[in-house]
Structure 1
Amino acid sequence: MSHDASELARGLAREAEAVCRHYLSNGRRAGRYWLVGDVHNTPGRSMFVRLQDSPKGPAGKWTDAATGEHGDLLDIIRESLGLREFRAVAEEARRFLKLPRTEPEFASKPDRPAVPDGSQAAARRLFAISGSIERTVVETHLRRRGIVHIHHGGSLRFHPRCYYRPDEHSPTETWPAMIARVTDLDGRITGVHRTWLDPHGFDRIRLGKAPIDTPRRAMGNLLGNAVRFGTADDVLAAGEGIETMLSLRCVLPTMPMAAALSANHLSAMVLPPGLRRLYIARDADAAGDMAQTVLAQRAEDAGIEAITLSPRLGDFNEDLHIFGIGALRATLAIQLVPEDVVSFLHSSTVPAE
């Protein structure tokens, strides 16, 4: 067990910043350290985690100046998730590092399917068997949210009977769903995001989503990756939600965009090489503010100009739905760099309201 713990700790230390962004998402990077309130992911600055090896200690070691507590990244996983048994901590660490399970664990479950639910292979299979969104409930759902004439580049598909299971004790249901592919910088599918939709109607509470507890779920490897619309060159816009970025794409159809699917994943998104300018489409809430701050700092550390795009309401889809495409266009015109107004905004074709 001690050997396994040492190997896992070393593996996590090599990915120290990614570990902190994932499990200590309320903190932020400051030089060679990650600062946060405590090991339970409380906002603050009293606990610091070394992100790189240094004469003062190896990467992954942390100290809480307020309490004197210290430990490694396995301790962070244990305490941030409230785990108590080492087996559960090790399993979570392996999941994060994408390491295989141990042979005895596989042997104890001979009925395990060849492609586990939630794996990258299952995600690729689901995307492959899904079809075009044209003339489907997906297109209707997006249109009702003000998103029309979009250029999604094949990143969105439709599945008429996508499996949904509330929990392991409940029967499986099927609902139509929008399937969005999550890719890495090389275009490889690492996961999918599913939005289950109601085939019978639309109301202001569910906004067209299926009447289930969790109508949005992702599967596969999301960390660092995104749902991409267009191929990034030297300019990219990034934000949290799919509908948020599609709303911007209604006005900026040729600007490459990426939806990271959550605030935590936005802050940890891998930035493409050669990027010169990054627009961060901020959601107007505390999590959105934190993601914007962290991602902007990472971009600036990499020599990338970071510019925040701020909505008038909660997010850009809400702006589009409430104020219309003309107002969204005007909002962006004063936030974009002038040369990008010429390159992207003025060249867009916007349908009449």
Structure 2
Amino acid sequence: MESAAADIARRLAREAEAVCRHYLSNGRRQGRYWIVGDIENTPGRSLYVRLKGPASGKGAAGKWTDAATGEHGDLLDLIMANLRLSSLGDALDEARRFLSLPRPDPPVRQVSPPAPTGSPEAARRLWAMGRPIAGTLAEQYLAARGIVGVDAIGALRFHPRCYYWREDRPESDPETWPALLARVTDAKGALTGLHRTWLDPATTGKAPIDSPRKAMGLLLGHGVRIGEAADLLAAGEGLETMLALRMALPELPVVAALSASHLAALILPPGLKRLYIAVDSDAAGRAAADRLAERAGADGIEAIRFTSRLEDVNEDLRAFGLTELRADLRPQLAPEDVDRVLLSTSR
């Protein structure tokens, strides 16, 4: 389909001499050309415009060249430069005025129907509105929990004004808070849901609301994935737990299932040979880890549990620092994985 600019340029070429007489009035016709000094209508003989010729290709009507500068173009380019217009849209409007053409109707805006609340489509739309976390409140929030250097992780985004509905307020009157967004995907990387952590700009902590963390979309079996799993993967419940583990073992792909029940039901990717499970220290966390380990073993996948000194890996990171966390994790790794996921940190 011909573009609007190409169509207008073609119409101008049909009226090449009239265009030249209007915009390059200090020039004159000489044979098949209009001769003038330059694009700004200075008297002279440097710029020439072809008045007759085919509609396109070599020798086409409406083509011009300035022999002094080497500039060239079509008559739409000429109008834009002659009047020093700042945009192609302005040049098109001027050309339509000259040709006595009406302005085109504005395109019909396609309004998408509202996505069902909490649906994967609603999650996709919210994710599309997010932006990278670098330099945002989300980055500050994670840094306060010892998690740094994660601003380039594609599974994380920041939303400055994310809706939050309170039970005691009508649905038509939500409030907004900044939020850390985490993308939930299936084993193939397709977005199925979203996890939101609402934040308080005054404290860089969680927002002072009843449920500062909520997930939406299809979550069961899926999770927030960081790194591409091949034969190794680490899985755990919390987003911050798995971000901390990724900091300590940056070559180990991780997935945060976001709850104990979802961890137990996590769908494992094909080709997996060894699964590390970051175990939360409460009863629900231990039970979920046991269930996932059983399922992995039934599929011929070796399951190894990561245990922490405190409640979870992030608590250990905050309490003891990154060096001690790595020292604690090293003896828990399979010997053949040490060089792959731990010693690479010293490079």
TM-score range normalised by the length of the shorter chain: 0.5 to 0.7
CA shift at 1:153, angstroms? Answer: 3.2
The one-letter code matched in structure 2 to 1:265 is: H
The one-letter code matched in structure 2 to 1:158 is: F
Task: Decide whether the 8 Å contact of 2:134 with 2:152 is kept in 1.
Answer: no
Q: Which residue of 2 aligns with 1:252?
A: 249
The one-letter code matched in structure 2 to 1:196 is: W
Q: What is the alpha-carbon distance in structure 2 between the residues aligned to residue 253 and residue 182 of structure 1?
A: 20
The one-letter code matched in structure 1 to 2:138 is: V
The one-letter code matched in structure 2 to 1:174 is: T
1:231 equivalent in alignment to 2:233: no
Q: Which residue of 2 aligns with 1:24?
A: none
CA shift at 1:151, angstroms? Answer: 7.0
Deviation string, structure 1 residues 200-220 (Cα, Å, up to 9, x no partner): 115xxxxx1000000000000
Aligned CA distance change for structure 1 residues 331 and 281 (closer, same or farther; 3 Å): same
Runs of 4+, deviation exceeding 3 Å: 168-171
1:86-101 paired onto structure 2 within 5 Å: none
CA shift at 1:265, angstroms? Answer: 0.1
1:190 to 189, 192, 200: 192
The one-letter code matched in structure 1 to 2:156 is: L
Aligned CA distance change for structure 1 residues 345 and 303 (closer, same or farther; 3 Å): same
Aligned CA distance change for structure 1 residues 151 and 280 (closer, same or farther; 3 Å): farther
Q: What is the alpha-carbon distance in structure 1 between the residues aligned to residue 233 and residue 270 of structure 2?
A: 11
Q: Which residue of 2 aligns with 1:276?
A: 273
The one-letter code matched in structure 2 to 1:279 is: Y
Task: Report SS of the residue matched to 1:334.
Answer: helix
Quick check: 333-342 or 222-231, which moved more?
Answer: 333-342
CA shift at 1:150, angstroms? Answer: 2.7
Q: What is the alpha-carbon distance in structure 1 between the residues aligned to residue 239 and residue 332 of structure 2?
A: 21
Deviation string, structure 1 residues 233-254 (Cα, Å, up to 9, x no partner): 0000000001000001111111
Task: Report SS of the residue matched to 1:324.
Answer: helix
The one-letter code matched in structure 1 to 2:260 is: A
Q: What is the alpha-carbon distance in structure 1 between the residues aligned to residue 341 and residue 151 of structure 2?
A: 14
* Greater relative contact order, per chain length (Cα 8 Å cut-off, separation 6+): 1
1:149 equivalent in alignment to 2:146: no
The one-letter code matched in structure 1 to 2:302 is: E
The one-letter code matched in structure 1 to 2:202 is: H
Aligned CA distance change for structure 1 residues 253 and 201 (closer, same or farther; 3 Å): same
Aligned CA distance change for structure 1 residues 145 and 334 (closer, same or farther; 3 Å): same
Task: Report SS of the residue matched to 2:275.
Answer: strand
Deviation string, structure 1 residues 160-217 (Cα, Å, up to 9, x no partner): 0000012274431100000000000111100000000111115xxxxx1000000000
The one-letter code matched in structure 2 to 1:292 is: A
Q: Which residue of 2 aligns with 1:137?
A: 137
Task: Decide whether the 8 Å contact of 1:150 with 1:253 is kept in 2.
Answer: no
Identity of aligned residues (%): 58
Q: What is the alpha-carbon distance in structure 2 between the residues aligned to residue 165 and residue 310 of structure 1?
A: 36
CA shift at 1:152, angstroms? Answer: 5.9
Q: Provide the TM-score with structure 1 as the length reference.
A: 0.64
Aligned CA distance change for structure 1 residues 190 and 245 (closer, same or farther; 3 Å): same
1:24-35 paired onto structure 2 within 5 Å: none
Aligned CA distance change for structure 1 residues 163 and 127 (closer, same or farther; 3 Å): same
Task: Decide whether the 8 Å contact of 1:150 with 1:249 is kept in 2.
Answer: no
Q: Which residue of 1 aligns with 2:342?
A: 345
Aligned CA distance change for structure 1 residues 168 and 270 (closer, same or farther; 3 Å): farther
Q: Which runs of 5+ in 1 are unaligned?
A: 1-112, 203-207
1:212 equivalent in alignment to 2:197: no
1:272-351 paired onto structure 2 within 5 Å: 272-349=269-346
Q: Which residue of 1 aligns with 2:237?
A: 240
Q: What is the alpha-carbon distance in structure 1 between the residues aligned to residue 221 and residue 346 of structure 2?
A: 32
Deviation string, structure 1 residues 125-163 (Cα, Å, up to 9, x no partner): 100110010000110011110011137630000000000
Quick check: 212-221 or 333-342, which moved more?
Answer: 333-342
Deviation string, structure 1 residues 16-62 (Cα, Å, up to 9, x no partner): xxxxxxxxxxxxxxxxxxxxxxxxxxxxxxxxxxxxxxxxxxxxxxx
The one-letter code matched in structure 1 to 2:178 is: P
Q: Which runs of 5+ in 2 are unaligned?
A: 1-112
Task: Decide whether the 8 Å contact of 1:151 with 1:229 is kept in 2.
Answer: no
The one-letter code matched in structure 2 to 1:115 is: A
Q: Which residue of 1 aligns with 2:6?
A: none
1:78-89 paired onto structure 2 within 5 Å: none
Aligned CA distance change for structure 1 residues 232 and 333 (closer, same or farther; 3 Å): same
Q: What is the alpha-carbon distance in structure 2 between the residues aligned to residue 115 and residue 343 of structure 1?
A: 43
The one-letter code matched in structure 1 to 2:150 is: I
Q: Report the number of matched residues.
A: 233
Q: Rg: which structure is higher? A: 2
